[in-house]
């Protein structure tokens, strides 16, 4: 058991587990964000709950960060090992005839998503951590000294999407995330050994998920950009 | 008749750097097999006093898995579910330029020209790709053991793997998981293979990793290029077997 994650199969399994965790997180994230489209109050309340709940902040958030870091580091480590397993390449190789572009470029799409996450953390997460844990303001209010000033989350969200450049970066990043998921969703099932008639029926759902979730994120960004 | 330009990988031995060399060939019949076309080229080279192109071949009917050519960027050439020896020149056009290269993977080092050393597969098989049977004369007739039809069919499908190495050659990671999973599956699905199932998958995967093959990233290229159509379901089965065996171990 101890050597399982040193093996090729074990590393695939670990990658898949982190992928499942991140895919579930994406659903939760987009669900909360989508409330901002139709209800400022609901979005603010959910954001405040997520941002101040001790279980989410103290337990789930560190697990999430570990999952993200693990997925990226393991992805890079596997890619380096895989590249080094063929020292001499082919003079002519027509990979497009036997595999999809998405499946061959998971590192590229993953790297773009990673770059996006740096911007995303800069935009939201670092700001949140600074306000809550450096400045000590856990109120979530626009003005911490004025209880009637209302929560700040909705206004901050809309403010971020004023910039066309930032919106374009978001849109491009989520298109790349979609391409990443179009291969990654089914690949994760395969890696944990789930490839049978029941899992194959998930293929339709995988396309809906892989296109639908990023599309919702794009919609939210565009909605706030054009209605600001 | 066809006139072609062949771009063939020439390498004197394992230590030689090797390079692509151009060979024009003419008068090639569309009805020739690909290997017969290479025979024609080699005859011309021998008559000119040049070193013929070394390439692997044996049965020439898609059974033995010996031929191993990467033709125009694909393992076993442009057709699917056939070996290089089953490929015919009618798949090409007059005037075509055809690249012919050996399998590329660190675990399959080039011996000479288009011949690679695939003994890594043999060592993986020796690590667990077998069942231990008492051959004293009291062995139970395999046909007397009831086996569910679905399992028998899937075991047979897995057992059709000829170990040619096209899966490794096609995989961008040089992964051998389709081959290993076929060998694991053909026994895992049958009652005779159950006794050694745990050790088998652990030992075969361990040997596969030791040989320097890459990790599978589920691109599916191996399944497409496999001349026997070995399914990716076998890799999923091997993953299950391995994870279950690791928990037991």
Chain A residues whose CB is inside 8 A of the B173 CB are 82, 85-86
Q: Tell me, what's the pLDDT at A1? A: 54
| B113 interface with A at CB cutoff 8 Å | no
| Å between A213 CA and nearest CA of chain B | 22
The CATH T-level fold of domain B118-132+145-248 is Fumarate Reductase Iron-sulfur Protein; Chain B, domain 2 (1.10.1060)
Q: Tell me, what's the pLDDT at A2? A: 55
Q: Mean pLDDT throughout B194-198?
A: 94
* Lowest mean pLDDT across A149-153, B17-21, B180-184: A149-153
Angle, vertex CA B2, rays to CA B32 and CA B52, nearest 5: 65
The answer, yes or no, to whether residue B249 has pLDDT greater than 80, is no
Average confidence score pLDDT of chain B? 96
Q: Tell me, what's the pLDDT at A139? A: 87
List the one residue out of A162, A187, A161 whose CA is nearest residue A174.
Answer: A161
Among chain A residues, CA nearest to B107:
A85
CB-nearest partner of B232 from A7, A8, A195? A195
User: Is B205 close to A90, i.e. CB distance below 8 A?
Assistant: no
User: Is A88 close to B104, i.e. CB distance below 8 A?
Assistant: yes
Contacts of A50 (CB under 8 A, 6+ apart): A32, A56
CB-nearest partner of B240 from A4, A183, A193? A193
Q: Tell me, what's the pLDDT at A197? A: 75
From first to last of its 228 residues, chain A has per-residue pLDDT tens of 557 778 999 999 999 999 999 999 999 999 999 999 999 999 999 999 999 999 999 999 999 999 999 999 999 999 999 999 999 999 999 999 999 999 999 999 999 999 999 999 888 889 888 998 898 888 888 888 888 888 999 999 999 999 999 999 999 999 999 999 999 999 999 999 988 777 777 888 999 999 999 999 999 999 999 998
* Residues B15, B161: Cα–Cα separation, whole Å: 31
Strand partners, B70: B75, B101
- Burial classification of residue A193, based on how many CB atoms lie within 10 Å of its CB (0-12 exposed, 13-18 middle, 19 or more buried): buried
Q: Go through the domains of chain A in sequence order and give each one's CATH number.
A: 4-85+99-227 (1.20.1300)
Q: Tell me, what's the pLDDT at B61? A: 94
User: Is B73 close to A92, i.e. CB distance below 8 A?
Assistant: yes
Angle, vertex CA B38, rays to CA B36 and CA B44, nearest 5: 110
The answer, yes or no, to whether residue B209 has pLDDT greater than 90, is yes
Chain A residues whose CB is inside 8 A of the B235 CB are 190, 195
Cα B146 from chain centre? 32
* Residues A90, B101: Cα–Cα separation, whole Å: 7
Query: 């306000």: which residue's tokens?
Result: A131
Side-chain half-sphere exposure of A163, counting CA atoms within 13 A: 9
* Residues A111, B129: Cα–Cα separation, whole Å: 39
Among chain A residues, CA nearest to B241:
A193
Q: Tell me, what's the pLDDT at B148? A: 94
Q: Tell me, what's the pLDDT at B248? A: 85
- CATH 3.10.20.30-classified regions of chain B: 2-112
Please give the C-alpha separations between residue B79 and each of A107, A218, B86, B203, B223, in angstroms, as whole numbers.
29, 41, 9, 34, 13
Query: 């470029």: which residue's tokens?
Result: A105
Chain A residues whose CB is inside 8 A of the B216 CB are 8, 12
User: Is B215 close to A8, i.e. CB distance below 8 A?
Assistant: yes
* Residues B46, B189: Cα–Cα separation, whole Å: 50
Which chain A residues touch B if contact means CB-CB below 8 Å? 1, 3-4, 7-13, 78, 81-82, 84-95, 97-100, 103-104, 106, 183, 186-187, 190-196
* Residues B212, B168: Cα–Cα separation, whole Å: 11
- CATH 1.10.1060.10-classified regions of chain B: 118-132+145-248
* Residues B241, B173: Cα–Cα separation, whole Å: 22
The CATH T-level fold of domain B2-112 is Ubiquitin-like (UB roll) (3.10.20)
Chain B residues whose CB is inside 8 A of the A81 CB are 214-215
User: Is A99 close to B221, i.e. CB distance below 8 A?
Assistant: yes
Q: Tell me, what's the pLDDT at B59? A: 96
* Residues B40, A107: Cα–Cα separation, whole Å: 44
pLDDT in tens, A114-137: 999 999 988 888 988 899 889 888
DSSP code of residue B75 = E
Q: Mean pLDDT throughout B60-77?
A: 96
Contacts of B166 (CB under 8 A, 6+ apart): B68, B75, B76, B103, B222, B225, B226, B227
The answer, yes or no, to whether residue B57 has pLDDT greater than 90, is yes
Q: Tell me, what's the pLDDT at A156? A: 92
* DSSP 3-state of A112: helix
Interface test with chain B among A2, A98, A109, A192, by most B beta carbons within 10 Å:
A98
Q: What percent of chain B has pLDDT over 70?
A: 100
> pTM here?
0.92
The neighbour count for residue A120, using CB atoms within 10 Å, is: 16
Q: Tell me, what's the pLDDT at B201? A: 97
């Amino acid at each position: 058991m101890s050597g399982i994650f040193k093996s090729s199969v074990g590393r695939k399994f670990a990658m898949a587990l982190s992928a499942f965790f991140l895919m579930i997180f994406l659903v939760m994230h987009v669900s909360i964000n989508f409330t901002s489209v139709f209800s400022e109050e609901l979005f603010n309340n959910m954001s405040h709950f997520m941002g101040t709940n001790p279980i989410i902040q103290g337990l789930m958030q560190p697990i999430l960060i570990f999952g993200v870091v693990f997925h990226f580091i393991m992805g890079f480590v596997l890619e380096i090992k895989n590249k080094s397993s063929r020292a001499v390449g082919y003079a002519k190789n027509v990979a497009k005839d036997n595999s999809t572009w998405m499946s061959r470029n998971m590192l590229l799409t993953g790297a773009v998503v990673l770059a996006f996450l740096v911007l995303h953390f800069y935009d939201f997460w670092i700001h949140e951590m600074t306000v809550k844990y450096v400045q000590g303001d856990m109120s979530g209010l626009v003005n911490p000294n004025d209880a009637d000033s209302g929560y700040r989350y909705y206004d901050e969200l809309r403010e971020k999407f004023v910039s066309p450049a930032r919106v374009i970066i978001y849109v491009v990043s989520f298109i790349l995330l979609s391409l990443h998921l179009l291969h990654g969703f089914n690949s994760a099932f395969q890696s944990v050994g789930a490839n049978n008639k029941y899992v194959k029926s998930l293929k339709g759902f995988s396309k809906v998920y892989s296109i639908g979730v990023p599309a919702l994120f794009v919609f939210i960004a565009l909605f706030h950009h054009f209605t600001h | 008749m066809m006139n072609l330009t062949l771009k063939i990988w020439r390498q004197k031995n394992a230590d030689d750097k090797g390079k692509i060399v151009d060979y024009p060939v003419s008068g090639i019949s569309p009805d020739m097999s690909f290997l017969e076309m290479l025979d024609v080229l080699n005859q011309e080279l021998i008559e000119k006093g040049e070193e013929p192109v070394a390439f692997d071949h044996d049965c020439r009917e898609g059974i033995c898995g010996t031929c191993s050519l990467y033709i125009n960027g694909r393992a076993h050439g442009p057709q699917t579910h056939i070996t290089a020896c089953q490929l015919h020149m009618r798949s090409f056009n007059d005037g075509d330029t055809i690249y012919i290269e050996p399998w590329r993977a660190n675990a399959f080092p080039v011996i000479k020209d288009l011949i690679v050393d695939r003994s890594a597969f043999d060592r993986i098989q020796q690590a667990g790709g077998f069942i231990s049977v008492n051959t004293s004369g009291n062995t139970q007739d395999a046909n007397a053991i009831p086996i569910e039809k679905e399992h028998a069919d899937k075991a047979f499908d897995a057992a059709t793997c000829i170990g040619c190495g096209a899966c490794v050659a096609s995989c961008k990671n040089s992964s051998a998981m389709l081959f290993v999973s076929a060998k694991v599956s053909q026994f895992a699905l049958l009652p005779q293979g159950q006794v050694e199932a745990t050790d088998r998958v652990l030992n075969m995967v361990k040997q596969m990793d030791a040989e320097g093959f890459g990790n599978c990233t589920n691109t599916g290229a191996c399944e497409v290029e496999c001349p026997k159509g070995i399914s990716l379901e076998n890799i999923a089965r091997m993953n299950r077997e391995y994870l279950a065996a690791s928990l037991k171990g």
